[in-house]
Amino acid sequence: MSPTATGPHVDETGARVVGEIGLLEYEDCQVSAIHGLRDIFRVASEYAVESADPPSVIRVSTWTVTAAEEGPVMVCSSDTHPDLEHRLSHVIIPPSLIVPELMTSVSELTDWLAGLRSGGTTLCAVCAGVFVLAETHLLDSRDATTHWAFAEELARRYPKIRVDASRMVIDDLDIVTAAGILAWVDLGLTLVDRLLGPSVMVHTARFVLADPPRRRQSLYQEFTPRLQHGDADIRQVQAQLHARLDEPHPVERLARTVAMHPRTFQRRFKEATGLTATEYIQAARIAKARESLELTNEPVARISRGVGYLDVSNFRRLFQRATGVTPSEYRNRFGIASRSSPAG
């Protein structure tokens, strides 16, 4: 079964269901992470019902591999909205309580995740759960994080993944990885921000006594690409773009990858994503640059090159147009140094 998302439901109370987050329960996973994530999304939803306009909730379901006559199948074992058709917008793979070397691969689980991703579901993995996601090869040519103790093994086993264990959360918009065994808190709050907005996220963080995962999401509009639009060819191009933002992407070349005339490609891309290919690439690059400015001390020129802008002055101009501040001003507000500075 590969349920995917197509649009918001409305539950029996009239609240808008802004997304369904599936929590994956697999052998030897950290069950406390599943319970904790349920609590985070419940707190957020209860607040959003009272404060959001229109009232909004996050649907949460739990999925597990179960034996059946025809072989192992994926089954929903719990659901906050059991009367509604499943439309999984996100799936979270929690940490494992055993080391990656002892984790077993389950082909049915791998196939299920790959099928969901092809339908536009955002896949998220925490700590050693990243190894479950890596089995799908959807992390190939991507940045990904995991627990620092497992980073070397992840890079050895999956050499096509760009492993960066210095970062707590790597949000590539359509695929999200989180590092430590308790990083599911950061991931949960990140998804609350994405689905219910920054004010709900901040309220939820305060309620559970956790720091907000990334300050920029509370002040600047987040770029959240449309992935559940039903156009498999365009989704293929989107995945290619997110994996290789540092490379040039002429429209003609993108069109060739899916065997389309450039004009047809542009039309379908705009219909599916709401943006032209050029606008989409720029928005994705700026989002990636914001993350680097927040979480690293890399020079602006290197960040510019890393997201595909060889002309640093052009990058600065585009960044200021998108955010209202220069890259340096952005880093001063939201970067590592600003977080470690004592309050005045």
Q: Could you give the domains of the chain?
A: 9-213 (3.40.50.880), 232-336 (1.10.10.60)
DSSP state of 16: E
Q: Is residue 162 within 8 Å of 141, Cβ to Cβ?
A: yes
Q: From first to last of its 344 residues, what are the pLDDT tens digits of the chain?
A: 445 444 557 777 788 999 999 999 999 999 999 999 999 999 999 999 998 788 999 999 999 988 777 767 899 999 999 999 999 999 999 999 999 999 988 888 999 999 999 999 999 999 999 999 999 999 999 999 999 889 999 999 999 999 988 788 888 889 999 988 888 999 999 999 999 988 899 899 999 988 777 433 223 456 778 888 989 999 999 999 999 999 999 999 999 999 999 999 999 999 999 999 999 999 999 999 998 998 889 999 999 999 999 999 999 999 988 888 899 988 988 787 655 444 33
Angle at 226 between CA 2 and CA 123, to 5 degrees: 45
pTM of the model: 0.68
- Please state, in angstroms and rounded to a whole number, the distance separating the CA atoms of residues 93 and 110: 11
CB atoms within 10 A of CB 249: 18
Q: Is residue 117 within 8 Å of 35, Cβ to Cβ?
A: no
- Please state, in angstroms and rounded to a whole number, the distance separating the CA atoms of residues 114 and 103: 19
- Please state, in angstroms and rounded to a whole number, the distance separating the CA atoms of residues 80 and 118: 25
Angle at 288 between CA 282 and CA 293, to 5 degrees: 120
End-to-end Cα, the chain, rounded Å = 54
Cis peptide bond N-terminal to 54, omega within 30: yes
- Please state, in angstroms and rounded to a whole number, the distance separating the CA atoms of residues 163 and 74: 29
Question: What residues contact residue 262 under an 8 Å CB cut-off, 6+ apart?
Answer: 251, 252, 255
| Secondary structure class of 59 (helix, strand, coil) | strand
pLDDT at residue 8, rounded to an integer: 59
DSSP 267-314: HHHHHHHSS-HHHHHHHHHHHHHHHHHHH----HHHHHHHTT-S-HHH
- Please state, in angstroms and rounded to a whole number, the distance separating the CA atoms of residues 292 and 34: 29
Distances (CA, A) of 52 to 112, 150, 217, 243: 33, 40, 17, 34
2 burial (CB, 10 Å; 0-12 / 13-18 / 19+) is middle
- Please state, in angstroms and rounded to a whole number, the distance separating the CA atoms of residues 241 and 243: 5
DSSP state of 52: S
Q: Is residue 290 within 8 Å of 331, Cβ to Cβ?
A: no
For the chain, where are the alpha helices, taking DSSP H only?
31-51, 107-118, 129-134, 151-157, 184-196, 198-207, 232-243, 251-257, 262-273, 277-295, 300-306, 312-323, 327-334, 336-340
